[in-house]
């Protein structure tokens, strides 16, 4: 029976070690601190009842008491220490890269000794070691090189026992010391003793000039053969460092007490393998925290970091830190993060890094999905990429070879155009850092607009706040958007010009700034490209700039005989969410391969989305033409909405229905448009949005110039006969499908694909 089988049969590593007669107890994970009062286990072995009580600890390390109770003496050699003269025996590699040599206890008292030689300690009676497969604070694990199943314990070397049996208070007979010659085996220890005596009694200014020369002469005369110069200098420097420390401590006032902040900062330094301060590109201070087998990213002022600081102080001193102590400690750590720490750019939910797309699953293990053109995988310890917010929820674990089209079973999207646009937009949201159009979902009550928004949010950026409402002003909106990678606003009836402009900036990635709280000089900068969505009974994006950044989705009221309870639909959807997520990641990876081959002759306003959309469409099994036809038809409907919302634009469209071209002054054009509207029963004097003076008309038409051009009407101004003239003329460049008409022949077989 091999080692793993014996461990399994015993019921775990701790019980296996107990079966060998070794006394075990739980030790803090990633640390060497016992989790219990362990002194009794220096004399007796734990019972089954006691070991069951220890199951309350989460994944503890295993400690083994050395000495007579377990029948073992352990020689602890740090990484780089000498091991050649240690007899072969049961041996483990420590998590820090050193070695534990397990020897048979001689049944006489073996004291613990530190530095019996350089980088070598002994753990005997009253001591303990951490055993495999425990986790070291460096992240490495203890592991057996020669396990107790591979070899019996060897006898402990006599020279080790002599070092441990020596009374540390016994005075050295220096006359005999200088008279004797030293052979291999005790030269190192004799060098340590002499170095200590020289440094202790000699003034510091004479150490290197006189003391070191004395040590070298003794080495040549009394050691047979002499120690290597390198080893001798190593002993000298090591003991010198200790003596300097002893003298500096002796000079400190004995009544000086450390403050709690000083104690706390020292404790943080002791945990430096777990705490890595760093800052963002905006000089925001953060810490990367090693928690068990994964790392987490916390703001320095976060509640979690304050709780962690409180815990380590309590464990050390059984004292609770005050807010002043916490704030003072955090201020020091923040300065370290900003001035000494590395810089990292932190993202929300999705990011590009080294040519790959990373998607934060936001799960307790802080895992992320890494997507490349070759495929995707779930990574347990991703680079420092993401910050998290309290509202975010964990994404489900994706399943390979999924299908994003499974989503269509749960949403009330009927037309082929809308199906392909919905799927392409959804997949595009997993590709960060380019402008994504805003789905403006509208329709009558009972058309499942909110339900569609909720499902899209669950797939892109799961959150406790699935549907948002617009805040009162732009500053609050910016704050909301900064915390959400994807935000859907529910039941929107209208949008102010300020909110519309802010949404445009949030899509394209323009920056926002605001004053930092309680300061007059510092600005907080927000720069992001967000995936946004809006739903309402009517089209709420009426401003042309915003509407051009939208995709319109009109939903029809669900017939009564086809309605289903939302809870039942959600339960079925959750069963397939992992499958849909896998299909999304498959499509993103494939689109990354395809995009380099996409070449378009002309591009719409949202050019990046059009290019990525073609690649995604092909990845989903459609053609570029199918996607572009659907997208351009949607743009045409946006343009129709803009022109229909403007009296002056609709009058120009009517004017150009019977003219190939028109020219005249702004006053003449205003009179002509007023005449057309009056003939349609519109009293322009009562219309507040209709311009009443020529200059105002020209300004309004310039804002609509792009929309008119997409309707095939070019607008220009110039000078003729010393007067300003407005020119209107028709072009053949209509925004239609690439085939030049609006029929759906290209989708004759698409229903099967969808």
- Can you give the pLDDT at residue 520? 42
Tens of pLDDT, residue by residue over 47-57, are 999 998 898 88
Return the SS3 of 354. coil
90-108 mean pLDDT: 93
Averaged pLDDT, 335-354: 94
Angle at 503 between CA 714 and CA 550, to 5 degrees: 50
* Per-residue confidence (pLDDT) for residue 172, from 0 to 100: 55
Q: Is the pLDDT of residue 346 over 90?
A: yes
Give the C-alpha separation, 226 to 217, whole Å. Answer: 10
Q: What is the pLDDT of residues 388-409, one digit of tens each?
A: 999 999 999 999 999 999 999 9
Amino acid 180: pLDDT = 75
The helix (H) or strand (E) run that includes residue 228 is none
The more confidently predicted of residues 740 and 305 is 305
Query: Three-state SS string across 134-185, please?
Result: CECCCCCECEEEECCCCCCCEECCHHHHHHHHCCCCCCCCHHHHHHCCEECC
CA distances from 567 to 418, 461, 571 (A): 25, 20, 6
- Name the token pair of 602: 């002309």
Cα angle 432, 434, 440; round to 5: 95
Higher pLDDT, 259 or 496: 496
- pLDDT > 90 fraction of the chain, expressed in percent and rounded: 51
Q: What is the mean pLDDT of residues 745-751?
A: 33
Superfamily of domain 404-636: P-loop containing nucleotide triphosphate hydrolases (3.40.50.300)
Sorted by where each begins, the domain ranges of the chain are: 3-165, 175-249, 260-343, 404-636, 646-730
CA distance 582 to 376: 9
Any bridge partners for residue 670, and if so which? none
Q: Mind listing the pLDDT tens digit for each residue in 412-451?
A: 998 999 999 999 999 999 999 999 999 999 999 999 999 9
Q: In 275-289, which positions are buried (b, 16+ CB within 10 angstroms) versus exposed (e)?
A: bbbbbbeeebbbbbb
Flag whether pLDDT at 704 surpasses 90: no
The percent of residues in the chain predicted with pLDDT above 70, rounded, is 91
Residues in the chain: 754
Copy the structure tokens of residue 503. 């949404």
Strands 120-123, 113-117: pairing kind? antiparallel
Rounded distance between C-alpha atoms, residue 551 and residue 423, angstroms:
12
- Say whether pLDDT at 752 is over 60: no
Best CA proximity match to 449, nearest among 522, 539, 525, 363: 539
108: number of CA atoms within 13 Å, CB side?
A: 8
According to the model, what pLDDT value does residue 524 have? Answer: 61
What confidence tens digit (pLDDT) does each residue in 546-599 have? 888 999 999 999 998 888 899 999 999 999 999 999 999 999 999 999 999 999
Render pLDDT for 285-300 as a digit per residue (tens, 0 to 9).
Answer: 999 999 888 999 999 9
Q: How confident is the model at residue 311 (pLDDT cuts 50, 70, 90)?
A: very high
Burial level of 748, CB count in 10 A (0-12/13-18/19+)? exposed
* CA 531 – CA 507 distance, rounded (Å): 7
- Top CATH class, 3-165: alpha beta
User: Contact 283/338 with Cβ under 8 angstroms?
Assistant: yes
The highest-level CATH class for domain 646-730 is alpha beta
| Angle of the 303-317 helix axis to the 323-339 helix axis, nearest 10 | 120
Summarised one tens digit per residue, pLDDT across range 145-191 is: 999 999 999 999 988 887 876 544 445 555 666 667 877 667 877 88
Q: How far apart are CA 321 and CA 608, in angstroms?
A: 52
Kindly report the average pLDDT of the chain as a whole number.
Answer: 87
Q: How many CB atoms lie within 10 A of CB 346?
A: 19
8 A C-beta contact, residue 424 and residue 445: no
Residues 750 and 420: their CA atoms lie apart, in Å, by 9
The secondary element (H helix, E strand) that includes residue 197 is helix 187-201
């Amino acid at each position: 029976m091999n080692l793993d089988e014996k461990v399994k049969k015993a019921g775990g590593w701790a019980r296996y070690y107990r079966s060998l007669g070794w006394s075990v107890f739980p030790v803090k994970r990633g640390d060497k601190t016992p989790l219990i009062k362990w002194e009794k286990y220096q004399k007796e072995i734990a019972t089954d009842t006691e070991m069951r009580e220890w199951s309350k600890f989460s994944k503890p390390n295993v400690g083994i008491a050395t000495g007579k109770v377990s029948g073992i003496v352990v020689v602890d050699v740090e990484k780089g220490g000498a091991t050649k003269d240690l007899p072969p025996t049961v041996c483990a590699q420590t998590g820090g890269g050193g070695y534990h040599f397990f020897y048979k206890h001689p049944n006489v008292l073996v004291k613990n000794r530190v530095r019996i030689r350089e980088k070598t300690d002994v753990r005997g009676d009253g001591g303990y070691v951490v055993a495999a497969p425990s986790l070291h604070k460096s992240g490495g694990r203890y592991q057996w090189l020669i396990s107790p199943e591979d070899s019996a314990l060897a006898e402990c070397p006599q020279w080790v026992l002599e070092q441990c049996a020596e009374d540390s208070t016994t005075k050295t007979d220096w006359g005999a010391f200088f008279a004797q010659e030293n052979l291999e085996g005790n030269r190192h220890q004799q060098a340590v003793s002499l170095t200590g005596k020289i440094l202790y009694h000699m003034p510091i200014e004479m150490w290197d000039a006189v003391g070191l020369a004395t040590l070298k002469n003794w080495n040549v005369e009394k050691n047979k053969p002499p120690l290597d110069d390198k080893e001798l200098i190593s002993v000298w420097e090591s003991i010198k460092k200790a003596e300097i420390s002893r003298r500096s401590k002796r000079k400190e006032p004995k009544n000086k007490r450390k403050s709690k902040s000083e104690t706390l900062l020292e404790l943080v330094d002791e945990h430096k393998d777990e705490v890595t301060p760093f800052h963002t590109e905006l000089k925001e201070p953060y810490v990367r925290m090693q928690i068990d087998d994964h790392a987490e990213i916390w703001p320095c002022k976060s509640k979690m970091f304050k709780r962690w600081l409180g815990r380590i102080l309590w464990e050390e001193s059984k004292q609770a830190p005050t807010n002043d102590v916490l704030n003072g400690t955090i201020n020091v750590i923040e300065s370290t993060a900003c001035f000494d720490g590395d810089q990292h750019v932190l993202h929300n939910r999705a990011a590009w890094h080294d040519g790959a797309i990373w998607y934060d699953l936001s799960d307790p293990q802080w895992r992320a999905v890494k997507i490349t053109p070759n495929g995707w995988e779930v990574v347990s310890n991703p680079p420092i990429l993401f910050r998290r917010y309290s509202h975010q929820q964990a994404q489900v674990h994706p399943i390979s070879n999924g299908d994003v089209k499974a989503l269509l079973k749960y949403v009330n999207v009927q037309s082929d155009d809308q199906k392909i646009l919905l799927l392409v937009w959804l997949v595009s949201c997993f590709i960060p850092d380019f402008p994504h159009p805003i789905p403006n979902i509208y329709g009558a009550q009972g058309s499942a607009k909110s339900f569609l928004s909720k499902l899209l949010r669950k797939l892109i950026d799961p959150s406790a706040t699935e549907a948002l409402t617009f805040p009162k002003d732009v500053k609050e909106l910016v704050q909301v958007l900064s915390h959400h990678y994807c935000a859907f606003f529910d039941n929107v009836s209208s949008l102010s010009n300020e909110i519309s402009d802010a949404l445009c900036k949030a899509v394209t990635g323009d920056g926002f700034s605001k004053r930092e709280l309680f300061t007059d000089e510092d600005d907080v900068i927000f720069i992001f490209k967000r995936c946004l969505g809006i739903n309402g009974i009517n089209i709420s994006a009426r401003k042309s700039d915003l509407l051009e950044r939208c995709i319109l989705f009109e939903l029809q009221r669900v017939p009564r005989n086809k309605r289903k309870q939302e809870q039942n639909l959600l339960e079925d959807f959750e069963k397939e969410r992992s499958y849909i997520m896998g299909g999304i990641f498959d499509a993103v990876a494939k689109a990354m391969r395809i995009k380099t081959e996409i070449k378009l002759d002309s591009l719409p306003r949202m050019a990046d989305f059009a290019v990525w959309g073609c690649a995604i469409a092909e990845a989903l099994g459609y053609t570029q033409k199918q996607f572009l036809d659907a997208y351009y038809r949607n743009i045409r409907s946006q343009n129709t909405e803009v022109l229909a919302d403007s009296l002056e634009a609709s009058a120009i469209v009517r004017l150009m229905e019977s003219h190939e071209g028109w020219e005249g002054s702004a006053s003449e054009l205003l009179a002509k448009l007023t005449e057309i509207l009056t003939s349609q029963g519109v009293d322009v004097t009562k219309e507040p949005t209709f311009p009443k003076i020529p200059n105002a008309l020209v300004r309004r038409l310039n804002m609509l110039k792009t929309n008119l051009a997409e309707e095939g009407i070019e607008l220009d101004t110039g000078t003729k006969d010393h007067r300003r003239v407005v020119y209107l003329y028709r072009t053949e460049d209509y925004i239609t499908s690439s085939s030049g008409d609006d029929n759906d022949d290209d989708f004759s077989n698409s229903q099967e694909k969808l």
